[in-house]
Amino acid sequence: MGKVILEMKNITKTFPGVKALDNVNFQVEEGEIHALVGENGAGKSTLMNVLSGIYPHGTYEGDIIYNGEVCQFQKIKDSEKKGIVIIHQELALVPQMTIGENMFLGNERGTKNAINWNETYGEADKYLKMVGLSESSRVLVKDIGTGKQQLVEIAKALAKNAKLLILDEPTSSLNETDSRALLDLMLSFKKQGMTMIIITHKLNEVVYVADKITVVRDGSTVETLDCHENEVSEERIIKGMVGREITDRFPKRSGVEIGEVNMEVKDWTVFHPIYAERKVVDNVNFNVRKGEVVGIYGLMGAGRTELAMSIFGKSYGSTITGTMQLNGQTVNLKSPREAIDAKLAYVTEDRKGNGLVLGKSIRVNTSLANMKGVSQRGVIDTDQEYNVAVEYKNKLKTKTPTVEQSVGNLSGGNQQKVLLAKWMFTNPDILILDEPTRGIDVGAKYEIYCIINDLVAEGKSVVMISSELPEVIGMSDRIYIMNEGKFVGEMKASEATQENIMACIIQSTGGGDAA
Amino acid sequence: MASKTVNVLKKNAMLIVLVLVYIFFTIMTGGSMFQAMNFNALITQNAYVFILATGMLMCMLTGGNIDLSCGSFVCFLGAVGGVLMTVKQFGAGVSIGIMLLIGVIYGCVLGFLIAYVNIPPWIATLAGYLAFRGLGTAILSANSTTGSISLSNEETYLALFSGKLFSTPVGQLNLICLIVGIVASVLLVVLVFSTRARKLKKGYEADSLMAVILKSVLGVAAIMLFAYKLALSGGIPTVLVWVVAIVLLYSFITSKTTTGRYFYTIGDNAEATRLSGIDTRKIMFLAYLNMAVLTAVTTFIVSARFQAANSTAGTYFEMDAIAACVVGGVSAYGGSGKITGMVVGATLIGVINLGMSLMGVNADWQKIVKGLVLLGAVVFDILAAKKSTTK
């Protein structure tokens, strides 16, 4: 039994109209990794924002007791002084600056008036070593991958003398290998006595690292599970999160007949738009059948998104070679418009970046890719547009009071539904869904899976790109495995296991050039 | 109910400020601000702001992009017009056609550079800002000894772009002006009530009956006051017709057409718009082509008002247009802003200009006040936005 390092007592935080946290109690012992899990909007981030002083003392009720003293943080600096450091989900690094500059941003080394660059880079290198990064701290952040950027964030936190490290979705943008490395790093920190709180949606990670798991639901802590007392399974955690047993995480598809091939891509090669000699997609061949869900599994950076976007009207890449057939006809789609007209839809992985117009309403977003469907001779029929938005809102069970709501105010799962609605309204035959469940909670994921099943039941085809193995195996009829720009395997879902898919990837990486 | 009232006030804050500022100047000028002649002046002096700001609004919607060259282009195109009409004696029709054509060509070049060559708008138009002022001045000094070309003999041109419709002596009540006012009032009331009825029929949220009546009463009062004052000042200024036509046309484009919609979505998220199958480059191209055409129209009314082309024409026009948009609530980052807001912003700036001139405030102080008003409007907007998001 370690000593309790942090206790949050009876925390209540209200925003006008909503009680985000309702009498929450939360305890963390010294030297443990404590996972905080819950659906989106359950209040995890709010709780951590209260802890780190983003919501200053006085704006919430209750007490924070850290190291035996009651703390009243007014700002982030106050909590950082005590060694409580939070690493946010979105990376907060300046791409054009060096790793060293980023690490000591706001915490510069040197005298008051002048920065001591030798000390900066010297110390930066020391912390980089601690997180296992071999890069020099003089390298620009934009020149290293996302996985390494996440490690820089952690090194930055260490440089602030962190004693209690809070990681908010640290692996959401990392691939499997980098995620595993990060989790192992956390375990090694634990050995050195660091206390950590991790917020994550990925339950396999929770099971892997956590000593204790606290489940948050609807603004209250539901339970705290001790992983050392009993084995805690993912199903057990999900039960706590949604308040009921989900017997099957992937809804069954029944009676969907798989028809003939309606898309065939041959010898597809795509070059990088800037480094024109680099092949991002290398001689890929695949086909999709009517009523089929085809999974494309690959780690981030494997070229999946680039493949999808290059197919979708050449929205990515400089030189693209290869042929593409839709329903037996060879097509050459040169713009997103032509792709849409050919009944193709690409639902992006980056819904905030290039999927949705966040400042605009659900109505405007729903009709955006098919304005012809709600207008005559270029004049919008607002009533019709409204009806369409309402229809999809009901069909996809989007939770919102009205379709005039700004999309930016919706939760991730609901945003994903609006994005799906936009593409469903273009009436496509083939939908390419790029990471359709990224960053959304268990309940919403299930609903998205149901939507996918409905789509193929209508005779449409779905290409699902994902880096979550259970999802690919659970949802697909057939799976392609992609690694380093190439397709390195194809298997029926019934034959696929996590082991043989990973084996495909490891084999191809080892067999390739210097990897 | 109280919060509803607060919301209504907030939504119309600039309009309320406009009324208060007008009352302020009326008091400070001992009532002369309220005289018929000054209603007329408000329109004729500021017509250029309304038209240029309409074009600027379309540019700003696409992502806070601006056109710095429009003021200088007014000078250049005015000089060309002067040469065509007065020196070459081409006549109004041909000259207007050529001037419009030059505007279209400039718009195409500018639009091409910005949309297809990816030159940042402020740099592309900064080049025009410098070059056209010089070119305009050079043309004028090559064709006249005074550096200014008179247009006072071009009756058709002046009749089209300045002067009054159905003019009557000042002080006498112009009946046609009043009738136009009454027709506009009736149209407004019909529009307001039919919109509400349509919304109710479809089961949408609509304004309460009280709000609609209040809106109509205030709207009619404003229109009739304007019509009465203009009737006393000798008739409807021709430029008012141009301004109203352009404002109505662009209100329709921005709120009702698919093309208009794309201007907003590009400003909010260009990549999402592009991947939705919309030709974002074409929209950027259109924004600057449109700007140049409206700049040409501005040139007509400005040179007609001064009855001359001169080298100082159009000075600071680009800044006035940007200011009108910003004061009118058009986002400096793109994606939001309405024509009606811009009209209020432009009128507010016009009222401040006119009021200070009537009070005899010197030009330096006028600039200081305008600068502060601009800053105040932006600060107000950002604070209001903050409040509504923290809710």
Q: Is B312 helix (H, G, I), strand (E, B) or coil?
A: coil
| Distance (Å, whole) CA A443 – CA A112 | 51
Do the Cβ atoms of A215 and A38 come closer than 8 Å? yes
Q: Residue B352 carries which side chain, given as an amino acid letter?
A: I
Q: Which residue of B has its CA nearest to A354?
A: B272
- Please give the backbone phi and psi of residue A294, each rounded to the nearest 5 degrees, phi first: -100, 125
B391 vs A16, A340, A368: nearest CB: A16
Contact between chains at A357 and B273 (C-beta distance less than 8 A): yes
Contact between chains at B277 and A340 (C-beta distance less than 8 A): yes
* Residue A12 domain-assigned (yes or no): yes
Q: Which of A92, A71, A95 is nearest to A81 (CA)?
A: A71
CATH number of the domain located at residue range(s) B36-167+235-386 in this protein:
1.10.3470
**In A176-233, where do the E strands start and end?**
195-199, 212-217, 220-226
Q: Which of A158-167, A463-472, B94-103, B378-387 is least confident?
A: B378-387
Q: Which residue of B has its CA nearest to A350?
A: B272
| Distance (Å, whole) CA A57 – CA A50 | 8
- Asked whether residue A403 falls in the same domain as residue A433, the answer is no
| CA-atom Rg of chain A in angstroms | 24
Give the pair of three-digit tokens for residue A434: 């790029």
Q: Which residues of A touch B202 (CB under 8 A)?
A: 383
Neighbour-count burial of A363, counting CB atoms closer than 10 A to its CB (0-12 exposed, 13-18 middle, 19+ buried): buried
Residue B390 has pLDDT above 50, yes or no: no
- Asked whether residue A260 falls in the same domain as residue A203, the answer is no
How close is the nearest chain B Cα to the Cα of A73, in Å?
20
Residue A65 has pLDDT above 50, yes or no: yes
Q: Which residues of A touch B275 (CB under 8 A)?
A: 312, 315, 336, 346, 348, 354-355
Last residue of a domain, which of A392, A427, A462? A427
| Distance (Å, whole) CA A89 – CA B243 | 50
Q: Is A136 helix (H, G, I), strand (E, B) or coil?
A: coil
Q: Tell me what the mean pLDDT of segment B246-275 comes to.
A: 94
B256 vs A313, A336, A379: nearest CB: A379
* Residue A348 domain-assigned (yes or no): no
For the domain that residue A144 is a member of, what is the CATH number?
3.40.50.300
Q: For A7-63, how does the pLDDT look when each residue is reduced to its tens digit (9 = 90+)?
A: 999 999 887 666 788 889 999 999 999 999 887 667 888 899 899 888 888 889 999
Residue A346 has pLDDT above 50, yes or no: yes
Candidates B3, B62, B255, B275, partner chain A, best to mutate (most A CBs within 10 A): B275
The pLDDT of residue B182: 94
| Distance (Å, whole) CA B344 – CA B321 | 12
Residue A329 has pLDDT above 80, yes or no: yes
- Please state, rounded to an integer, the average pLDDT across all residues of chain A: 88
- Using CA atoms, how far residue B88 sits from B76, B80, B153, in Å, is 17, 10, 13
- Asked whether residue A310 falls in the same domain as residue A274, the answer is yes
- Asked whether residue A382 falls in the same domain as residue A308, the answer is no
Question: Phi/psi class of residue A218: alpha, beta or left (left: φ > 0; alpha: ψ in -120 to 50)?
Answer: left
* Residue A88 domain-assigned (yes or no): yes
Candidates B276, B286, B331, partner chain A, best to mutate (most A CBs within 10 A): B276
Last residue of a domain, which of A427, A444, A472? A427
- Read off the pLDDT band of B385 (50, 70, 90): low
Angle between helices B258-268 and B238-256 (to 10 degrees): 70
Q: Residue B309 carries which side chain, given as an amino acid letter?
A: A
The tally of CA atoms less than 13 A away on the side-chain side of residue B356 is: 15
- Asked whether residue A380 falls in the same domain as residue A444, the answer is no
- Asked whether residue A268 falls in the same domain as residue A279, the answer is yes
The parent domain of residue A294 ranges over 251-343+429-515
Last residue of a domain, which of A209, A242, A275? A242
Do the Cβ atoms of A263 and A329 come closer than 8 Å? no
Q: Which residues of B touch A369 (CB under 8 A)?
A: 276-277
Tell me whether B258 touches chain A (CB under 8 Å): yes
Q: Which residue of A has its CA nearest to B331?
A: A359
- Asked whether residue A260 falls in the same domain as residue A128, the answer is no
Tell me whether B281 touches chain A (CB under 8 Å): no
Residue A513 has pLDDT above 70, yes or no: no
B268 vs A335, A357, A426: nearest CB: A357
Q: Tell me what the mean pLDDT of segment B257-274 comes to.
A: 94
Contact between chains at B336 and A357 (C-beta distance less than 8 A): no
* Residue A445 domain-assigned (yes or no): yes
* Residue A270 domain-assigned (yes or no): yes
Q: Which residues of B touch A346 (CB under 8 A)?
A: 275
Q: Which of A224-228, A359-363, A436-440 is least confident?
A: A436-440
Tell me whether B62 touches chain A (CB under 8 Å): no
Q: Which residues of A touch B194 (CB under 8 A)?
A: none
A380 vs B261, B274, B336: nearest CB: B261
Residue A426 has pLDDT above 90, yes or no: yes
Residue A511 has pLDDT above 50, yes or no: no
- Asked whether residue A392 falls in the same domain as residue A299, the answer is no
How close is the nearest chain A Cα to the Cα of B282, in Å?
13
Contact between chains at A357 and B391 (C-beta distance less than 8 A): no
Q: Name which residue leads in pLDDT, A203 or A333.
A: A333
| Distance (Å, whole) CA B225 – CA B238 | 18
Contact between chains at A359 and B268 (C-beta distance less than 8 A): yes
A360 vs B265, B271, B278: nearest CB: B265
Do the Cβ atoms of A62 and A8 come closer than 8 Å? yes
Q: For B302-351, how does the pLDDT look when each residue is reduced to its tens digit (9 = 90+)?
A: 999 999 999 999 999 999 999 999 999 898 888 889 999 999 999 998 99
| Distance (Å, whole) CA B251 – CA B58 | 11
Q: Which residues of A touch B276 (CB under 8 A)?
A: 336, 340, 368-369, 422
| Distance (Å, whole) CA B58 – CA B291 | 8
Neighbour-count burial of A228, counting CB atoms closer than 10 A to its CB (0-12 exposed, 13-18 middle, 19+ buried): exposed
Q: Which residue of A has its CA nearest to B203?
A: A383
Q: Which residue of B has its CA nearest to A403?
A: B204
Q: Which residues of B touch A422 (CB under 8 A)?
A: 276
Strand partners, B148: B310
* Residue A350 domain-assigned (yes or no): no
Q: Tell me what the mean pLDDT of segment B234-256 comes to.
A: 94
| CA-atom Rg of chain B in angstroms | 22
The pLDDT of residue B323: 93
- Asked whether residue A90 falls in the same domain as residue A142, the answer is yes
* Residue A456 domain-assigned (yes or no): yes
| Distance (Å, whole) CA A121 – CA A135 | 12
Give the pair of three-digit tokens for residue A355: 């999927």
Spell out the residues 6+ positions from residue A381 whose beta carbon is closer than 8 angstroms to its own. A374, A375
Contact between chains at B275 and A17 (C-beta distance less than 8 A): no
- Asked whether residue A335 falls in the same domain as residue A444, the answer is yes
How many Cβ contacts (< 8 angstroms) between chains A and B? 80
Residue A320 has pLDDT above 60, yes or no: yes
- ipTM for the predicted complex: 0.86
- Read off the pLDDT band of A393 (50, 70, 90): very high
- Asked whether residue A238 falls in the same domain as residue A159, the answer is yes
Q: State how many domains chain A has.
A: 3
* Residue A176 domain-assigned (yes or no): yes
Q: Find the chain A residues whose C-beta atoms sit closer than 8 A to any C-beta of B.
A: 15-17, 312-313, 315, 335-337, 339-341, 346, 348, 353-360, 364, 368-369, 371-372, 375, 378-380, 382-383, 386, 422, 426
- Please state, rounded to an integer, the average pLDDT across all residues of chain B: 90
Q: For A143-193, how does the pLDDT look when each residue is reduced to its tens digit (9 = 90+)?
A: 888 788 888 988 998 888 889 999 988 887 777 788 888 899 999 999 988
B265 vs A15, A16, A357: nearest CB: A357
The pLDDT of residue A493: 87
Domain extents for chain B?
36-167+235-386, 169-234
Q: For A206-245, how does the pLDDT look when each residue is reduced to its tens digit (9 = 90+)?
A: 889 999 999 988 788 888 988 888 888 888 888 888 776 6
Tell me whether B280 touches chain A (CB under 8 Å): no
Look at the block and give the residue holding tokens 């990681």: A167
Residue numbers of B between 29 and 48 with CB closer than 8 Å to A:
none
Q: For A465-487, how does the pLDDT look when each residue is reduced to its tens digit (9 = 90+)?
A: 998 888 899 999 999 999 888 99
Residue numbers of B between 192 and 211 with CB closer than 8 Å to A:
202, 204
- Asked whether residue A264 falls in the same domain as residue A130, the answer is no
Name the percent of chain A lying above pLDDT 70. Answer: 97
How close is the nearest chain A Cα to the Cα of B389, in Å?
9
End-to-end CA separation in angstroms for chain B:
18
How close is the nearest chain A Cα to the Cα of B259, in Å?
7
| Distance (Å, whole) CA A171 – CA A183 | 9
| Distance (Å, whole) CA A103 – CA B184 | 64
Q: Is A423 helix (H, G, I), strand (E, B) or coil?
A: helix
With b for 16 or more beta-carbon neighbours within 10 A and e for fewer, the B304-327 pattern comes to: bbbebbbbebbeebbebbbbbbbb
Contact between chains at B335 and A359 (C-beta distance less than 8 A): yes
**In chain B, where do the E strands start and end?**
148-150, 164-165, 236-237, 308-310
- Read off the pLDDT band of A416 (50, 70, 90): very high
Contact between chains at B276 and A422 (C-beta distance less than 8 A): yes
| Distance (Å, whole) CA B275 – CA B21 | 46
Q: Tell me what the mean pLDDT of segment B175-182 comes to.
A: 91
Between vectors from CA B44 to CA B38 and to CA B45, what angle results, nearest 5°?
Answer: 80
| Distance (Å, whole) CA B275 – CA A219 | 37
User: Model-level pTM?
Assistant: 0.82
- Report the sign of the C-alpha dihedral through residues A399, A400, A401, A403, in that order: negative
Tell me whether B118 touches chain A (CB under 8 Å): no
